[in-house]
Every structure is written in C-alpha cells, then in structure tokens.
Homo-oligomer: A and B are copies of this chain.
Amino acid sequence: MREASDAVFAALADPTRRRVLRLVAERGPTSATLLVRELPVTRQAIAKHLVVLTRAGLVTRQRTGPEVRYALAPEPLDDVSAWIAEIGARWDERLARLRQVVLDQEIGGF
C-alpha cells in the first residue's frame, strides 16, 4: 500500500482549497481566472491554492493558448482513503482481540 504523503493531507486541510478542488472536479479543466467568479478570494489566492494542489499531485496543469487549465488527478485521494481504511482496520483488530479476551474470561472464570 502506498503511503499517503503529508502534502496531500496538508492540501486538504484548507476549506477554500477543498472548494477549489471540488470545483475543478465538477467543471473539468478550469483556469484560476474562471474560478474567481465562484470564490470569495482573489485570483492570486486561487493560483496559490492551485500550486499547492499541483505539488500534492491532486491536480495537473496544461497550458492552452494564453491560459492555464487545471484538471483533477484523483489518484492521491486513494492514498487518503487507504490510510483511513487502515486506521479502521487496526481499530477493528483491537476490538476483535478485546472480544476474544472477554470470551476467554467467560469460559475460564464463569
């Protein structure tokens, strides 16, 4: 299992950045200028978010003429899901062990 990178978790931490990612996912290849209409921040702020998302591998950039369009790259999100699943698995393992202990006690002590 690939280890989820810190960059992905960090990228998802900011609410505005999550909105950017969601908009990119919905609209498909989009530019920072197009996103300005849908967000309460300046184009430069959006551009910075897109840089962070690009570094995290969550978005790919492609220059088309004078503008730069960003598209979703959903793969790193799988790492996050995997991390969450592993936490849950370890939790479940623990519960299973605990149940076993309880069962043993019932058999031996009762």
Taking Cβ atoms with an 8 Å cutoff, the residues of A that contact B are: 6, 9-10, 12-13, 15, 18, 21-22, 25-28, 72, 74, 77, 80-81, 83-84, 87-88, 90-91, 94, 98
Supply 10 further A-B pairs (C-beta < 8 A) apart from A9-B13, A26-B94, A80-B80: A9-B12, A10-B13, A22-B90, A25-B87, A25-B91, A28-B98, A74-B87, A74-B91, A77-B88, A81-B84
Please report whether the interface of chain A is mostly helix, strand, loop or mixed according to DSSP: helix
Number of copies: 2
Please pick, from B12, B77, B87, the residue contacting A21 in the complex, using a CB distance under 8 A: B87
Closest to A91 in B: B25
| Chain A to chain B contacts (Cβ below 8 Å), 23 pairs | A6-B15, A9-B13, A9-B18, A12-B12, A12-B13, A13-B13, A18-B83, A22-B87, A25-B87, A25-B88, A25-B90, A25-B91, A26-B90, A27-B94, A28-B94, A72-B87, A74-B87, A77-B87, A77-B88, A80-B80, A80-B84, A81-B81, A81-B84
